[in-house]
């Protein structure tokens, strides 16, 4: 049996990788949150041994929450409390603790922000941005075409291999959260951009790799984010008015744009849910709120009372 709290955290993290197929981002988030909790238990309450976990109750959690609230936003605190809930459910299954004190401690309320997305004309400007005279520009265009045309997460793009596009022509195989496999239609523009890129890219270090960095190695999530940020800035030079100084567009924006534009064009939520790889329909339903501006514009154009 693990001897210390830190040992139990290690066992929990290992089970997440081996049994739950966590992504590297999920693993890193859990690891950081639990390290912070373990340090709080040790420094404030002198709890460090695995046998002491049974003695933990609401006072310890409230103390940890209070320390977080002094320096963190509610969203960060809510995420850390979610991590602890998952960890202590694991400990309860293992028989290490007998009570779930976290059930008595509510998470702080967080403002539910709507996902940022690009308008269709903004996406068109972005697709014009890459320099197609270079192999890296051809790669960047293929990246943007796939992220917008298939609605992939950045981590899913990072995981793409040659077999992802070769197994079933006209389709792309992606692995989402928990390594869940799904097939997404690969639009013709994305196929053309990929063919052009593959014809001109340098020899990869690994022939199975799809997207390459400068040195012929796999392109990372950070590299993809930097590429998108660079191309967004370049696109803004074509139409400076569509980027304002306070607007923060994340690499996830193309995925959100994919879902929003499908919904606007009449696609049903269930189909969008499957394409995005969401396990719950409620996650996909966030995109219904994004159409309120369009509804208002339609009203102002068509309703007689709006013309007074």
Averages of pLDDT over runs of 10 residues in the chain (308 residues) are 86 88 82 92 87 85 84 73 90 87 69 72 91 96 95 90 92 86 94 96 91 88 90 79 62 88 87 88 74 57 60
Neighbours of 211 (CB within 10 A): 23
Specify whether 153 is located in the same domain as 88: no
Specify whether 125 is located in the same domain as 234: yes
Instruction: Report the Cα 229 to chain-centroid distance in Å.
Output: 16
State the residue range of the domain holding 25. 5-104
Q: Could you tell me the CATH number of the domain that includes residue 9?
A: 1.10.150.130
Which residues make beta-bridge pairs with 209?
A: 161
Residue 294 confidence (pLDDT):
55
Specify whether 130 is located in the same domain as 77: no
Query: Going along 80-222, which residue ranges are E strands?
Result: 171-175, 181-185
Look at the chain and report how many structural domains it folds into: 2
Is residue 89 domain-resident? yes
Specify whether 140 is located in the same domain as 82: no
Residues serving a catalytic function are 153, 177, 252, 255, 278, 287
Is residue 153 domain-resident? yes
Of 210, 231, 250, the domain-final residue: 250
Specify whether 91 is located in the same domain as 181: no
Specify whether 124 is located in the same domain as 229: yes
Q: Could you tell me the CATH number of the domain that includes residue 163?
A: 1.10.443.10
Of 250, 265, 282, the domain-final residue: 250
Q: How is residue 26 written in tokens? A: 């999920």
Specify whether 92 is located in the same domain as 136: no
Residue 250 confidence (pLDDT):
76
In whole angstroms, give the CA distance from residue 168 to residue 30: 36
Is residue 255 domain-resident? no
Is residue 304 domain-resident? no
Is residue 128 domain-resident? yes
Of 104, 129, 153, the domain-final residue: 104
Is residue 85 domain-resident? yes
Q: In terms of pTM, does the model score above 0.95?
A: no
In whole angstroms, give the CA distance from residue 232 to residue 251: 10
CA torsion through residues 227, 215, 193, 273, sign:
negative
Specify whether 219 is located in the same domain as 98: no
Residue 73 confidence (pLDDT):
57
């Amino acid at each position: 049996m693990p001897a210390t709290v830190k040992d139990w955290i290690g066992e929990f993290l290992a089970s997440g990788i081996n049994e739950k197929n966590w992504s590297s981002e999920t693993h890193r988030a859990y690891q950081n949150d639990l390290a912070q909790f373990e340090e709080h238990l040790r420094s404030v309450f002198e709890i460090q041994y695995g046998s002491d976990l049974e003695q933990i109750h609401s006072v310890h959690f409230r103390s940890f929450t209070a320390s977080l609230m002094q320096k963190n936003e509610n969203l960060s605190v809510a995420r850390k409390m979610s991590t602890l809930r998952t960890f202590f459910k694991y400990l309860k299954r293992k028989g290490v603790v007998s009570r779930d004190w976290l059930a008595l401690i509510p998470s702080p309320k967080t403002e539910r922000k709507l996902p940022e997305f690009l308008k269709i004309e903004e996406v068109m400007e972005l697709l014009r941005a890459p320099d197609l005279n270079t192999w890296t520009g051809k790669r960047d265009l293929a990246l943007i075409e796939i992220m917008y045309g298939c609605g992939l997460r950045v981590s899913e793009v990072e995981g793409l291999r040659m077999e992802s596009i070769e197994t079933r022509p006209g389709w792309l195989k992606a692995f989402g959260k928990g390594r869940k496999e799904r097939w997404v239609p690969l639009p013709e523009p994305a196929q053309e951009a990929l063919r052009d890129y593959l014809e001109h890219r340098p020899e990869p270090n690994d022939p199975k790799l799809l997207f390459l960095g400068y040195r012929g190695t796999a392109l990372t999530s950070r590299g993809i984010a930097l590429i998108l940020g660079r191309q967004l800035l370049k696109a803004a030079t074509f139409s400076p008015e569509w980027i304002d100084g306070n607007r923060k567009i994340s690499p996830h924006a193309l995925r959100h744009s994919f879902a929003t534009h499908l919904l606007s064009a009449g696609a049903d939520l269930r189909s969008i849910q499957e394409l995005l790889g969401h396990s719950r329909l409620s996650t996909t339903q966030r995109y219904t709120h994004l159409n309120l501006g369009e509804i208002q514009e339609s009203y102002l154009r068509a309703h007689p009372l709006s013309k007074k």
